[in-house]
Structure 1
């Protein structure tokens, strides 16, 4: 990371650069004899009373005392991806939302309030894709009240790490006492390589609705009530994959939503005793081939940051990070 001009470190950012992507170097506290430095890259979300706030691509907020700055500059957006489909955040936000449709929703300006009896945060959170039509603090009060009426915790879903994402809104949420509870990645890839795998898909059964066996493997709820089925079956073109086991719950399952050029993969689960045998790949290959038959050419999926096994699998299938998304919830205080 280069900051020097003619051998001199230079701070070339001001409070007027709030909202821009910056790279800064600051002096850290050190018990040693020499000075130590740390570098931070992200969106400058505030510069107030001598403290800079920078939101990294991961959604982490870093606070830096102005007096510790030794260098700083604005930097262009991250380089364009070198593999996979081109995609904007706005396009992916709409596609991923259609794959987890709520049971009920209501507009709040350009925001969308969504509820589905508490099944998945993606269908039970406010989706802020524009201006709520009133100050953010008032909008958040409306969010709290709307979810309280439904006896649900209030969540706001945001995104960071790509052009057009919501680092400034994340900082605003934090200023209003909301905190990140969950962070996950949205990854994308070309669809054809996923479907061209050598996996034997003969054992995969594809259906338009989840049966009792599929639901027995997908243990993300206490009781599969009507609201669960409505969310799972929502989407432009939905497919469910099942690999039968010796008895009881299936060995593996998966879900795919085909939406124009996009195929979204989710609910890929394998019985613990059957893992590391290629069943997740087999399920995704079968679903990808069906999506290709319907004209899709690009793939997306969501994976939590802590799920190292799944991330390794998706790395091998060509999925690369596009952006991160987060669910914010008011702190107990």
Structure 2
């Protein structure tokens, strides 16, 4: 059977779907294990999310990933993403990054466990716990999968919990640039700094923005803030773009649409605007991070050509 350390990995599950005569009938499901509880498991399959009660599972095991990126590619993309979401309080533990930002977002308040922490793994986790508790925060670790599988396994042994699985998705810019402009939509206004209403729309989704959040959002040399307004000047959609890393990645984040303006193609509209901006600055590829359970956003990005490069789990230490 599967265990918590298998979450984030590709697995095959044989389940019992019925009985013919005195013989059970089976079917197999292949996908990424995104959750495992005492009663059911959840798979992300090519056909969508599948929840299987454990009482129906006859056999399950981990299988090799369909397309496993090289460790160097995962590390390079994670570092580019860190540049695009820069926590104001930072330290190093070997090659691991320790980051804090007044608890605003898991990305900016977790240790990025890539590379060598320059000490045994158990000692590295001890050091992470001390650093975060010294900063008055709950220790968290960002563990890219499957690269950080040993980290996840040790965190399981120490009783750390996991937030929902996050997909790190990528695409080349060409499909985004090819998305036809919608003449019925207002133009995408790209600004060097966000307006007050931009911040307000983001706060509706991300919560109150502390000073650290403002430093994260504006602390990247090459960044842009997308605004789409109606004829009355009311904000319809926002997004943020950055260009970072030696490979010149476009990072797309905070794509949000006003509730009354949804299902009009505004998400696609602002992503295309960010792609055009980034292409002018030499970017050829884009990445974004989205929770696997956010099926609406995952569907939108899939239609725009994004696919999952790797995944990560944000792990949280037990409460004292």
Answer whether TM exceeds 0.5 for this pair. Answer: yes
Q: Give the whole-Å Cα distance in 2 for the aligned partners of 1:134 and 1:57.
A: 35
Q: Which residue of 1 aligns with 2:81?
A: 96
Compared with structure 1, are the counterparts of its residues 36 and 113 closer, same or farther at alpha carbon in structure 2 (3 Å cutoff)? Answer: farther
- For residue 148 of structure 1, report the CA deviation from its aligned partner: 1.9
**Structure 1: gaps (5+ residues):** 1-20, 44-55, 59-67, 82-86
Aligned to 1:152: 137
Aligned match of 1:78: 66
Contact 1:199 1:281 in 2 (8 A): no
Q: Tell me, yes or no, if the aligned pair for 1:265 and 1:284 is still in contact at 8 Å.
A: yes
After TM superposition, the structure 1 stretch with the greater mean CA deviation from structure 2, 207-216 or 272-281, is: 207-216
Residue equivalent to 1:210: 194
- 2:258 is the counterpart of 1:271: yes
Is contact 1:98–1:234 with CA below 8 Å preserved after alignment?
no
Which of 134, 139, 161 lines up with 2:119 in the alignment? 134
The answer as to whether partners of 1:109 and 1:131 remain within 8 angstroms in 2 is: yes
Alignment partner, residue 125 of structure 1: 110
Q: Please name the residue that 1:199 is paired with.
A: 181
Trace 1:154-233 onto structure 2 (pairs within 5 A): 154-161=139-146, 165-200=147-182, 203-219=187-203, 220-233=205-218
Change beyond 3 A, Cα 1:117–1:246: farther
CA shift for structure 1 position 263: 0.8
2:238 equivalent to 1:250? no
Alignment check: 8 A CA contact 1:111 1:128 kept: yes
Report the Cα distance in structure 1 between the residues aligned to 2:254 and 2:264, rounded to whole angstroms.
18
- Whether the 8 Å CA contact 2:15–2:28 is kept in 1: the answer is no
Q: Shift in Å at residue 211 of structure 1?
A: 1.9
Question: How far apart are residue 106 of structure 1 and its match?
Answer: 0.6
Q: Which structure has the greater CA radius of gyration?
A: 1
Q: Do 1:109 and 1:133's aligned partners in 2 also have CA atoms closer than 8 Å?
A: yes
Instruction: Determine the C-alpha separation between the residues in 2 that align with 1:92 and 1:104.
Output: 21
Q: For each residue in 1:120-139, what CA deviation from the matched residue of structure 2 results, as whole angstroms up to 9, or x when unmatched?
A: 11011001112222333332
Q: Which moves more between the two structures, 34-43 or 261-270?
A: 34-43
Which residue pairs with 1:51 in the alignment? Answer: none
Whole-Å Cα distance in 2 between the matches of residues 187 and 27 of structure 1? 30
Go from structure 1 to structure 2 and tell me whether the alpha carbon gap of 1:182 and 1:27 turns closer, same or farther (over 3 Å shift): closer
> Quick one: structure 1 residues 221 and 149, their matched pair in 2 at CA, closer, same or farther if it must change by over 3 Å?
farther
In 1, the alpha carbon distance for the partners of 2:202 and 2:14 equals 47
- TM-score scaled to structure 1, two decimals? 0.74
Q: Deviations over 1:60-102 (max 9, x none)?
A: xxxxxxxx98x99x97652479xxxxx9212211111111111
Q: In the TM superposition, what are the counterparts of 1:28-107 in structure 2 within 5 Å? A: 34=23, 77-79=65-67, 88-107=73-92
Task: State whether residues 218 and 269 of structure 1, in contact with CA within 8 Å, keep that contact through their aligned partners in structure 2.
Answer: yes
Structure 2 match to 1:310? 297
Q: Which residue of the partner structure matches residue 5 of structure 2?
A: none
**SS of match in other structure, 1:218:** helix
Q: What is the count of residue pairs matched by the alignment?
A: 283
How far apart are 1:246 and its partner, in Å? 6.1
How far apart, CA to CA, are the structure 1 residues paired with 2:153 and 2:162?
Answer: 11
CA distance in structure 1 between the partners assigned to 2:306 and 2:198 by the alignment: 25
Q: Whole-Å Cα distance in 1 between the matches of residues 88 and 27 of structure 2?
A: 47
What CA distance in whole angstroms lies between the structure 2 residues aligned with 1:42 and 1:221?
Answer: 30
Residue 249 and residue 123 in structure 1: after superposition, are their counterparts in 2 closer, same or farther (change >3 A)? farther
Q: TM-score, normalised by structure 2?
A: 0.76
